Amino acid sequence: MRVMGGRAQHDPHALEAGGVLVGRHIRGSRDVVVDLVTEPMPGDRQSRYSFHRSQKPHQRFLDEIWRTSRKTCVYLGEWHTHPERHPSPSSVDLADWRKRLVKDQVDSESMFFVIVGQVETAAWEGFRGTGRLARLEAVQHAPT
């Protein structure tokens, strides 16, 4: 949470940031643990109101983590920031998430999508079979 929260857009000129969520599925449960997140990398496009993740550098990171973790750390989903206090997904976010639920190769029935706002961080679980998105409990940030 420290990496993502550190990218919250408090400054009026701060650009959106984002990356991928990497972690583990806990065997015998529906629980997941997010171990790492990527930060913006060369090739990513950032503006005040958008973030577009470049595929190749983040995929190289995922491939390396997969190898060094002995195939236990996997791609869980995506995160990015919004310049709003209580984040909600835009129509662009929703379309991208639904596309990822269909096209991304993951060994799970769901993926996770996180938006870091200025006051809280919100998350959604997306279900691959139906494309349904369920909002998870939001987390309030510590005062800055």
**CA–CA separation, 35 vs 18, rounded Å?**
16
Q: Which of 16, 64, 109, 125 is catalytic?
A: 16
Pair 119, 81: CB distance under 8 Å? no
Look up 78 and say whether it is catalytic: no
Burial of 69 (0-12, 13-18, 19+ CB in 10 A): middle
Sequence-distant (6+) residues with CB within 8 A of 129 are: 109
Name the residues annotated as catalytic: 16
